[in-house]
Amino acid sequence: MTAFNASTSKVAVLMGGRSAEREISLMSGQGVLNALQSEGVNAIGFDPAQHSIAQLKEQKFTHAFIALHGRHGEDGTVQGALELMGIPYTGSGVMASAIAMDKQMTKRVWRAEGLSTPASVWLPPHKQTPESINAIPHELGLPLIVKPPHEGSSIGISKVSTPAQLEPAIALATRYDADVLCEMFIEGDEVTCPVLGHGEDAVALPVVKIVAPQGAYDYQNKYFTDAVSYHCPSGLPVQEEQAIQALTLAAYKALGCRGWARADVMIRASDRQPYLLEMNTSPGMTSHSLVPMSALAAGISYTQLCLRILSQAGLDSRAGVEAS
């Protein structure tokens, strides 16, 4: 496997794609591309929606920086193609990517490991009946969250405060996914925590606290407004931040992640118990993104972050061996 060398490697920055997060991926990819090129890396943007992925091999790319978000980019499919072509890539491998992209499977793993995550009800198509839907508030209480389990960037997510809102929320989620995940709402602080590295060398970066208007940390506020305020340092008590970092590291390792990722966490106001929501294995790298913000608080610039992530590009066949 070819070790990354800034002067000899040819890097494809994979961006765009066909998922509902295409627009954000293009923004992330352009940022990464500019950063790598500024350091003399032979990096070229590559959109799998416009070019066959097989061209990566034909054009002799040695590495891939995955800046794709959502399906066909963050779910193990592109990772599998790169494995077959023998092109080392950034981020988690096929299995960890596939599991983390499926919020229901992620919860199953975390629960098996004894890690805290909100109670939930999974509704595959055959269970999306009036009887099953009407039973959900009794099981999870109100308010609750309804989301498509295979999407990110808060796409298709609704907060349901009354039983009458439940059916429209499920209808919205099914526009993006055949399955629906209903989740207990955790009232409290919203935070996120990135991780860099592999195995025992993985480290959690500083926690970022997110404060959104009326708690609406949605797609629009995430990427296209300045209405959300981010706090890094988080301002949380030291022991609380350390507990969130430890929980995030445990969650990262339980899923088999490598390279980098970012966990989203809610801290319940009543007892300050942190709850894992999801793990993003190809986090955003836009001007509003949280991994670069956290890295900067740890003394790592955006460009340094991109180079560090790229330097750990690898293949599943080399998992457990020092990334090259």
Catalytic positions are 21, 153, 223, 262, 264, 278, 280, 284
Residue 214 has pLDDT above 80, yes or no: no
Q: What is the CATH number of domain 99-116+187-318?
A: 3.30.470.20
Q: Where in the chain is the domain with CATH 3.40.50.20?
A: 10-90
Residue 225 has pLDDT above 60, yes or no: no
Whole-prediction pTM value?
A: 0.91
Q: Which amino acid is at 25?
A: S
Which residues, at least 6 apart from 29, have a Cβ–Cβ distance to it below 8 Å? 13, 14, 15, 16, 45, 67, 68, 285
**Average pLDDT in the chain:** 92
- Encode pLDDT of 134-184 as tens digits: 999 999 999 999 999 887 657 889 999 999 999 999 999 999 999 999 999
* Neighbouring C-beta atoms of residue 113, cutoff 10 Å: 12
Q: 120-184: which CATH architecture? A: 2-Layer Sandwich (3.30)
Contact between 298 and 205 under an 8 Å Cβ cutoff? The reply is yes
CATH 3.30.70.20 fits domain 10-90: no
Q: Where in the chain is the domain with CATH 3.30.1490.20?
A: 120-184
**Of 145 and 214, more confident:** 145
Q: Where in the chain is the domain with CATH 3.30.470.20?
A: 99-116+187-318
- Encode pLDDT of 58-90 as tens digits: 999 999 999 999 888 999 999 999 999 999 999
**Of 224 and 105, more confident:** 105
